[in-house]
């Protein structure tokens, strides 16, 4: 697993997990699906979960849910207080799709 701990100076405030927004991030992790990175807490890192927004964005860039099924089969994210897999991600995906139309 890629774990690149940021050498953040003290006093700058704690960075919150980009995935669940509920816990302080323990480090910055590379996405499995694109050239982006995100801050994640220990739980999300262990789950291999990525921000729902970013996963939906990658799905959009891939060509939509139909094309994403294979590539994102192991995708994990966090929504409504629990970790979710691709099936649930695709259920929420339409809520994000409108935001991606400009890209």
Residues in contact with Zn ion by CB under 5 A are: 17, 19-20, 41, 44
Pairing assessment for the beta strands 37-40 and 77-79 based on DSSP bridges = unpaired
Q: Going by C-beta distance under 8 Å and a sequence separation of 6 or more, which residues neighbour residue 32?
A: 48, 50, 75
29 versus 57: smaller Cβ distance to Zn ion: 29
Give how far the C-alpha of residue 85 lies from the chain's centroid of Cα atoms, to the nearest Å. Answer: 11
22 versus 66: smaller Cβ distance to Zn ion: 22
Minimum CB–partner distance for residue 28 and Zn ion (Å): 13
Pairing assessment for the beta strands 82-84 and 77-79 based on DSSP bridges = antiparallel
Minimum CB–partner distance for residue 80 and Zn ion (Å): 14
Minimum CB–partner distance for residue 48 and Zn ion (Å): 11
44 versus 75: smaller Cβ distance to Zn ion: 44
What residues pair up with 83 in beta bridges, in sequence order? 78
């Amino acid at each position: 697993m890629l774990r690149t701990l940021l050498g953040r100076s003290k006093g700058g405030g704690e960075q919150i997990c980009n995935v669940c927004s509920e816990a302080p991030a323990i480090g910055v992790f590379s996405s499995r699906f694109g050239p982006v990175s995100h801050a994640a807490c220990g739980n999300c890192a262990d789950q291999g979960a990525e921000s729902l927004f970013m996963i939906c964005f990658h799905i959009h860039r891939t060509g939509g849910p139909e094309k994403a099924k294979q590539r994102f089969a192991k995708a994990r994210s966090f929504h409504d207080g629990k970790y979710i897999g691709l099936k649930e991600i695709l259920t929420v995906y339409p809520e994000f799709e409108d935001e991606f139309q400009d890209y």
